[in-house]
Amino acid sequence: MTSRTPKNRRPLVVAAAVLAAALVVAVVTSTGRQAGGDDSSVAFDRETGVLDFRAQTFDGDTVDSGDLRGTPVVLNFYASWCTICDRELPDFQQVSERLDGSVRVIGVNPQSNDTDAAQAEMIARNGVTYPTLRDPTDELLRQFNTTGGLPTTVFVDADGVVRKVHNGLLTEQLLLDEISASFGIGA
């Protein structure tokens, strides 16, 4: 004997399936996971200043702020269409090389107004070798810059506490000065 759903129950079965699918989408979205396998997440405690994040690089690696503890981090938010960002990337690369091991420089690309291809071209053109994270919904940027203006640079100490947020251009010397003031590290 085969079991069949009576015709009057089919709309209920379809409605239950649609509701279940919507619930799965809501749960996945609320945990900070994006469609397509991106497992990014952001948590910033404004009282303590502690920043926790997890994001994918353009190379497909995952960077977790917990793994960076013990070393100060400079997060530089930029985009391919930002001419000021393009001017400062070589300076960030120089500082990354100069302070290798004592400070981690990490790029972050808010992607609501950018593309992977344009980002890859900018990285290659400027010789950037430090990790660059995807920020697919600009969630990481929004923690520090509600206007979306770029560049924005965030200085995070070895304990994960945000020490300073700088909006605007940083030359190599200004970046070194900010690192010294925020972390007590000189070059």
CATH code at 109? 3.40.30.10
State the total domains in the chain: 1
Domain assignment present for residue 9? The answer is no
CB burial readout 83-94, b (16+ within 10 A) else e? eebbebbebbbb
Structure tokens at 98: 């100069």
* Structural domain that includes position 123: 37-183
171-186 pLDDT tens trace: 999 999 999 999 999 8
Write the single-letter amino acid at 147: T
Domain assignment present for residue 22? The answer is no
**Cβ pair 127, 120 in contact under 8 A:** no
Asked if the model's pLDDT at residue 187 lies above 50, the reply is yes
Domain assignment present for residue 90? The answer is yes
- The single residue listed with the structure tokens 């940027």 is 141
**Cβ pair 132, 96 in contact under 8 A:** no
Domain assignment present for residue 57? The answer is yes
Helix axes 116-126, 83-98, angle to 10 degrees: 50
Query: What is the pLDDT of the chain when averaged over all its residues?
Result: 83
25-60 pLDDT tens trace: 333 333 333 333 467 899 999 999 999 999 999 889
- The single residue listed with the structure tokens 């930002």 is 82
Domain assignment present for residue 179? The answer is yes
Domain assignment present for residue 144? The answer is yes
Domain assignment present for residue 161? The answer is yes
pTM of the model: 0.77
* pLDDT tier at 20, thresholds 50, 70, 90: very low
